Structure 1
Amino acid sequence: MSSFNHKGNGASLNLIIFFVTFLGLSFSSVAKTYHFVGSSFPLILEENKKGQFHGFGADIAYQVAKKLGVDIKISLYPAKRAMQMMRNGDADVIIGPYKSLERSEFLDYSSFSFYKDPVSFYALKKSKLKWNGKVKSIEHLRIGAIRGWSLGDRFDSKKDNLNINYVGTISQLFTMLELKRVDLVIAHPRAVSRFYEASEVQEKYKKLLPPLIENAGYFGFSKKRDLKEFQKNFEKEYQRLNNSGVFEKQINAIQFVDGLGL
């Protein structure tokens, strides 16, 4: 009888060990899924009709994650909401944010940037307005901007002194300009190219120089989550893939748009 119980107990013990191991592997798998967020950004992060994400930022995230053996989930939100999620620690990584002192309080930026945006003022073609590079020179003007974009610490620190009208899309931005509800709008060539042909932009609008700022886009890792090791491995794997030429096609596509003269 005791021998029977011993075998039964052994079988039960093996069963317990199996379930503990199974559950441990399951929880380990869940722990390796990272939530990436971002906003729709031409050539950087976009979603097609099938709900699939593409663009340079998405490609980096997917390919690096695959090499690291982890899973990722990507979600798109308006820029302001995505940034608020990062501030609250509701997501792990944000794709493509510009740097700012304010954001550095809750984001650890990647050691690399993967694209650059020369951000400029645009005016109507017939406008006689000029931009000398000094924010004070435009304090009397009505300015259109995209909600949630960071335009550099120099501009952001003085925006309370400016008359800025915020909208959600580039299309809305240039519609305001055409209707003369604003005098200037703030945009960059990559965003403009998604809504307008180069010839149309050059016919209707003019870009004022010098650029307001040349922003660089990074990956931002939440400071409210334990991501130091993941960030370190992510950066290392990106550099390895980039050095091997994996992302050459995406880089060339972005450089092509920059060369359109928008």
Structure 2
Amino acid sequence: MALCALPPFSFARPAGPRELVAAGTRNEGIYERRPNGEFAGLGADLVRLLARRHGYQPRFEIYPWRRALEVVGGGKADLLVSPYKTAERLRVMRYSEQAFFQDELAFYVRADAMPIWEGDYTLLKGRRIVIINGWAYGEAFAKALPLMNVSVTNTVENGLQMLSHGHIEMFASNRRDTDPVVKQLGLGDRVLALAPLIDVQDAYFAYPLAPRHRDLPAQMDHLLIELKKNGELQRLARRYGVTLP
């Protein structure tokens, strides 16, 4: 998931009794803040639909990804938009049963310097690889971390710039967030995603272990099931260029 350099809103104002506070990071097609301050994307739309149905007043907060995880895990927001599931996160957050989109994770490399990967992490021993702070890349990647020379950055843009300038050899990211930035930076002839994929991950909504709105997780699951059945989720996914599970 991509990170955001925009400053977060403040939680100094206490949440009202029917306010629904959603937290997330800048996330292509999922959770984005427009120049006018409005939030857009599949995740933001689903939060609004849920709020209208159950009488909540939605409020959107945006953070760097690791901070967004901490805010929801610490009970300072009601809902986190788009985390993948990991054992570590399941210790501090509760997840929806229903996933609402899916990501492909890949290594990005320079076209003139393509390491041999083939899905075998032993081939990456000592490789200089950058990852995004707080992102999860799957169990196999996590187990292989000691083999690689891994550093951390906070944005997709930074990771791609580090790669294009030769500061690293590989950048691990998801294609939904990264392919548009490759195009925006004019790197289409210099940077490419390396096959095979690192992993394919489903993404969810997550909640504090003791949610302020106790029925919220079940309400979101019921909404997602209904939208899948009537085709509305598929329509929204096409609108935002998002892949469904």
Mark yes or no: TM-score above 0.5. Answer: yes
Q: Which residue number corresponds to residue 221 of structure 2?
A: 235
8 Å contact from structure 1 (residues 67, 237) kept in 2:
no
Q: Does 1:162 align with 2:148?
A: yes
8 Å contact from structure 1 (residues 145, 165) kept in 2:
yes
The one-letter code sitting in structure 2 at the alignment partner of 1:234 is M
Q: Which residue number corresponds to residue 84 of structure 1?
A: 70
Distance between the aligned counterparts of 1:116 and 1:257, measured in 2?
Answer: 5
Deviates more, 1:234-243 or 1:171-180: 234-243
* TM-aligned CA deviation for residue 186 of structure 1: 1.0
Computing the radius of gyration from Cα coordinates, the structure with the larger value is 1
The one-letter code sitting in structure 2 at the alignment partner of 1:43 is G
Q: Does 1:74 align with 2:60?
A: yes
Distance between the aligned counterparts of 1:228 and 1:256, measured in 2?
Answer: 29
Deviates more, 1:165-174 or 1:130-139: 130-139
Instruction: Name stretches of at least 5 consecutive residues in structure 2 with no aligned partner.
Output: 1-14
8 Å contact from structure 1 (residues 115, 216) kept in 2:
yes
Distance between the aligned counterparts of 2:202 and 2:56, measured in 1?
Answer: 27
SS at match of 2:223: helix
Deviates more, 1:156-165 or 1:184-193: 156-165
Distance between the aligned counterparts of 1:257 and 1:216, measured in 2?
Answer: 10
* RMSD of aligned Cα (Å): 2.3
Deviates more, 1:236-245 or 1:52-61: 236-245
SS at match of 2:207: strand
8 Å contact from structure 1 (residues 190, 254) kept in 2:
no
Of 87, 106, 111, the match for 1:101: 87
The one-letter code sitting in structure 2 at the alignment partner of 1:162 is M
Q: 1:257 to 1:109 in 2, by over 3 A?
A: closer
Q: 1:161 to 1:92 in 2, by over 3 A?
A: farther
Distance between the aligned counterparts of 1:163 and 1:224, measured in 2?
Answer: 38
Q: Does 1:51 align with 2:37?
A: yes
The one-letter code sitting in structure 1 at the alignment partner of 2:228 is N
Task: Give % identity.
Answer: 21
Please give the TM-score of this superposition, normalised by the length of structure 1: 0.80
Q: 1:118 to 1:124 in 2, by over 3 A?
A: same
8 Å contact from structure 2 (residues 96, 204) kept in 1:
yes
* TM-aligned CA deviation for residue 160 of structure 1: 4.1
Q: Which residue number corresponds to residue 3 of structure 2?
A: none
Deviates more, 1:196-205 or 1:218-227: 196-205
Richer in helix (by share): 1
8 Å contact from structure 1 (residues 130, 208) kept in 2:
no
* TM-aligned CA deviation for residue 228 of structure 1: 4.2
Per-residue displacement from partner, 1:118-150 (whole Å, max 9, x unpaired)? 100111101141112122321210001111111
Distance between the aligned counterparts of 1:42 and 1:247, measured in 2?
Answer: 17
Q: Which residue number corresponds to residue 16 of structure 1?
A: none
Please give the TM-score of this superposition, normalised by the length of structure 2: 0.85
8 Å contact from structure 1 (residues 221, 227) kept in 2:
no
Q: Which residue number corresponds to residue 107 of structure 2?
A: 121
Per-residue displacement from partner, 1:36-93 (whole Å, max 9, x unpaired)? 1000001000001111101000000111111111122110000010011122222111
Q: 1:189 to 1:156 in 2, by over 3 A?
A: same
The one-letter code sitting in structure 1 at the alignment partner of 2:145 is K
Q: Does 1:188 align with 2:188?
A: no
Instruction: Name stretches of at least 5 consecutive residues in structure 1 with no aligned partner.
Output: 1-28
8 Å contact from structure 2 (residues 160, 182) kept in 1:
no
SS at match of 1:30: coil
SS at match of 2:77: coil
The one-letter code sitting in structure 2 at the alignment partner of 1:36 is A
* TM-aligned CA deviation for residue 246 of structure 1: 2.6
1:20-35 equivalence runs, <5 A: 30-35=16-21
Distance between the aligned counterparts of 1:117 and 1:220, measured in 2?
Answer: 17
The one-letter code sitting in structure 2 at the alignment partner of 1:159 is L
Q: 1:205 to 1:196 in 2, by over 3 A?
A: closer
